[in-house]
Each structure stands twice: as C-alpha cells, then as structure tokens.
Homo-oligomer: A and B are copies of this chain.
Amino acid sequence: MTEVDGARQVFSANQRFYEAFERLDIRCMDAVWRQDEGVQCIHPGWPRLVGWPAVRDSWVRIFNHTRSMQFRIADVKIAVTGSIAWVVCTERIKMVMDEEPQETQVLATNLFVRSDGQSEDSRWLMVHHHGSPVLRRLPETPITDDETADR
C-alpha cells in the first residue's frame, strides 16, 4: 500500500463516519467503529465515553434527539503512519434538534486503525473521536484587527 492509497482509504473512512452521522443510522455507525473496550469518544461538551457499548449508546441517544443533520467537512488534514491514521477537520453543521434549527462548527480529531482482515473499503476502523466547539474569539488573549481578519 502506498502512502497515497492509505490517505485515500482514510479519507473514505472519515467520510463514511460523517455519512452515518448525517443519516442518523446506527447500523452505518456500527460499521465505522472498531467494536471493543479500547475505543473512546468525546462529543462536544460531553464527558468522555470509553468502550464500544457506551460509545454506541451515545450515538443512539444523539440520533434519537436529532431530526436532521447536514455536514460540510472542511480543512481535512490526514496523517497515516503504519496501521494508524488520524484526521483533523472542521465540521460545519446544520441540524434540527428537538424541533430547533441550529448551525454550529466543531473541530474534530478522528483516529483510525487499519484492520487487515477487512475488505479495502472498510479496513480503517474508527477508534477515537474527539469533537469540540469552536468559539469566535480566543479566550485567553485579545485579538488584534489583523488576526480577526484571518478568521
């Protein structure tokens, strides 16, 4: 496998994650994750979840409370080293939750592990998702006009 092949496969695995999320379909989400005690998930603002049963339950709960969800994934940066890959990206999200339309932006770190027993299309399985909200201003330090222009 070349490095480019690896990055392409990981890009697809990352897309499958967001497709499952957008479809609010737990069976699609099941296919994205490695289903063992080692996986972890941090939803924006939530406490950390450890192990597949807790992670899966969180998706079921989110899907149950969400009527629709649209993702635009931007600034995707992929690194592949051996059988591990990590993706950092921006999730631009439009959603309807408990009848209320919302627009929000989340920064995500997604880790995938290659599982050689799988077919090429599904061999990269998610083992960690960390999503966190983006605020508009830096909390620790004032922003100059120049810096504001960059955002």
Contacts and interface: CB of A to CB of B under 8 A. Distances in A.
Given A81-B113, A82-B81, A133-B132, A107 B65 contact: no
Interface stretch (A6-14, A19-27, A118-126, A137-145): A137-145
Contact of A42 (B127, B128, B132, B141): B132
Contact of A111 (B43, B65, B86, B131): B86
A141 B109 contact: no
A79 interface: yes
A61 interface: yes
Contact of A47 (B79, B86, B140, B151): B151
Contacts of A92: none
A45 interface: yes
Interface of A: 38, 40, 42-48, 50, 61-62, 64-66, 75, 77, 79, 81-84, 86, 88, 90, 97, 107, 109, 111, 113, 127-128, 130-135, 138-141, 151
Given A45-B138, A82-B84, 11 more contacts: A42-B132, A44-B132, A45-B132, A46-B134, A48-B107, A50-B77, A64-B141, A82-B82, A86-B86, A86-B111, A88-B130
7 A-B pairs closest in CB distance: A132-B132, A45-B135, A84-B84, A82-B82, A109-B130, A65-B140, A61-B141
